[in-house]
Structure 1
Amino acid sequence: MSDPYEDSPERTFAALPPARGRGFAQTWWGQAWLKALEDAALDSEQVRTGRRLARAGAVGAVSVRPGRITAVVQDRDRTAHRADVLLQQLSEDQWDRFLDMAVERAGHIAALLDREMPPHLVEDAATAGVELLPGLGDLEPECDCDAWDHCGHTAALCYQMARLLDQDPFVLLLMRGRAERELLDELQVRSVPRAETAPVRDEPYEGMDAAEAYAAADILPPLPAAPVLPGEPGQPPSLDTDAGPAPGVDPTALAFLSTQTAREAHRLLAEALRPGHEAHPVEAELTAAQDAVRLAVGAPESPLADRLGEGSGRDREGLGLGVRAWEYGGVTALDVLESEWTVEAETLARARAALESAWEEDERPQLRASRNRWTVVGGQAQLRLGPDGRWWPYRKERGRWAPVGPAAQDPATALALAEGHE
């Protein structure tokens, strides 16, 4: 009599080392497999025996084929037994529903290729009427020790199987009736006509993360054309409603933040669409004081300016100076405004050389140095050396040093700005 499984796809996994000091299932789907065993076994002592045998490395190579797993398990007295565990294969109709479900969401395919089985994949399959993971009583034991229920040998095989499932959920799909290559080929076949006939949506990638979009390259329509930059930032939604604000919600602050968010989005889009634009590294996270200045840019007279100043330890005038610095050079300019540091010897030598060569000897201004700042003696102008070696122009206004322009590589250019010369 021929073996009914001889033409079936089969994978054989070498015996795993003992599992001392670790659990058998690290993934949630591996744990679900073991739960199906532990909930159904009538003799809990046999389950414990199987766990001990598997932990000791008594399970040999595991053969996995549709509907069945097989291994030789040795008792403590070295007696070998053939253990099998059966799991019902999915019907053709169930596989059709599963495959249709999988191509509906490219993330399912991406997850399987990453050797993962996320809960939403199993949940979506269940919604389609396909149970991937075994439930109570689904793991049917067969052993040559003649036990009528799960014995220590079949339990040991199930524990070993949980370790294999941790590594590769395609093993479960093979038990359900499809080998990995066959499954991926069928998904590809279904994806092609889907891509050809699917209606083109305005936003086909909306709400999809990067992994799903990448996996959907052959399924979804091409990415849409680059957006057109609006002439001005969009208007936030109106907060003028009959209902009063919820406790703790300040409508003025919320409207301000919405407006600032629209402006920042418009700025970022304009930068991204600029010809020759290259992505820049993400800046370090701003402190609360720095972010208060960023929010106040473009709205220094907002009724929230005092709150932004107080929240960052600045008075109204100090916030205004911070806004001016930010407009000239962002967080770097703000740091130059508010911080003073000792210049390293090598940088200091280059700075002095730049100051020496910037003017003819008879035109060179008299400067008094203090750390990273050079002040014109008897004047109202100052140069500040930034951490990148550029010079920032400052002028004294109402008793405070205020930034008056962007940084320059040449100290003479920066000083001309500080003194009010074009």
Structure 2
Amino acid sequence: MTPPPEGTGQAPDRGRRSGRRRTDRRPPRHDDHRRTFPARQARPGEVSPVTWWGNAWMEALEETALDPARLARGRAYAGRGSVDAITVSPGRVTAYVHGTRARPYRTEIRVRTLTNEDWEALLTAAAARPDHIAALLDKDVPRSLAATVDLLPAAGDLIPDCSCPDDGYPCKHAAALCYQTALLLDEDPFVVFLLRGMGERDILAALAHRNATRAAAEQAAATAPLPTVPADEALAPRSLPALPPPFPAPEHPGRPPAYPQAPGAPDPLALDLLASEAAARAHTLLTTGVDPTADLSVWQDAVRLAAAHPGSGLTASTRALYRDLAAATGRTPTDLARAVAAWRQGGRAALEVLEEPWDPPAGPFDRARPTLLAAGLPLFRPWRNHLSTTSLQLRFGRDGLWYGYESDTGREDWWPRGTPDTDPAGALTALLGG
């Protein structure tokens, strides 16, 4: 556009002469349901998270990993900055991870989002305690609040996926992304809330609404007149009504209070574990009339305790739990970890399948191999109640269910995995991930 001659005093009409439509340059709108974090620069020694929730995220993948060497390589990848920008949205975290090839691999980790009922329970529990709200605003996650709806993932909850050709579970690229995500959770625990389906702004708005509603109700109750009864009516002789029926048992056992960490005080993890166990046993006895642990052996009860503990695995506190339970029962921590995986697969029956080979009678076990071959599945070699390939195994339980196991090729290191099924093909499908 040519400027006007000097001295005319006339400014150019930019709106008409430019030939362009004027646009409103507004800043991009904040998306509370999708956040992207820039790639982290490698910092020496900064690979492991320091918060309990960051460790819980990392353990959820490590406890189901089949190859510690892949985890070690993934940790090294994370440490040298091989993970590009990380995008977090409800149910998934994604990033490009650089490997040995020039082109990076697209890697993601999926996790289940919470239901509306779960969110209602979590927000109600947070709003009921001012210290919970203060902790969240201070970028802290109280253990008792997270346990309300199992906010943190447990073993098997994280589903890794990667475009690389490695079929490990997980591959080193997914492991690297998991380690870097744990560091993100260290810095901002609202990331885990977003992964579970709700962004930070929505959470804070919901808590503010609940606080305002509760304050209004308390104000109304404080100003309402107290009910009165005439003295002659209160003192008049009368017969008492029959006692009401007992209250129904609660749907779930109660949660213990949060125990503080203080010098000279008992271990808060041990107190929480004992209180949770007592509440669960009391609830079962109240609703069924049966003590669920009365006939368990010491070893079975130790496995049950470790399996019921949220996030059990590789943090300092839970490593101590595994070490102490294993030592008390004459086993190794690896024996206990494998038994915990079996218990989470199917309880006491699955633990017996892990530890007690047996010779099934003629019938379903004999028909299993032809059924698998007819379905186009690999040839399995039989041994007692086991059917095995080089890396997959099905075990037939005395309860009539098939239990899946997996091992690295060439190693007899079988770990329970998948969901038991009455059909061997169904159990194998669950083992292979659907």
* TM-score of the two chains, using structure 2 as the length reference: 0.42
Please identify the structure whose Cα radius of gyration is greater: 1
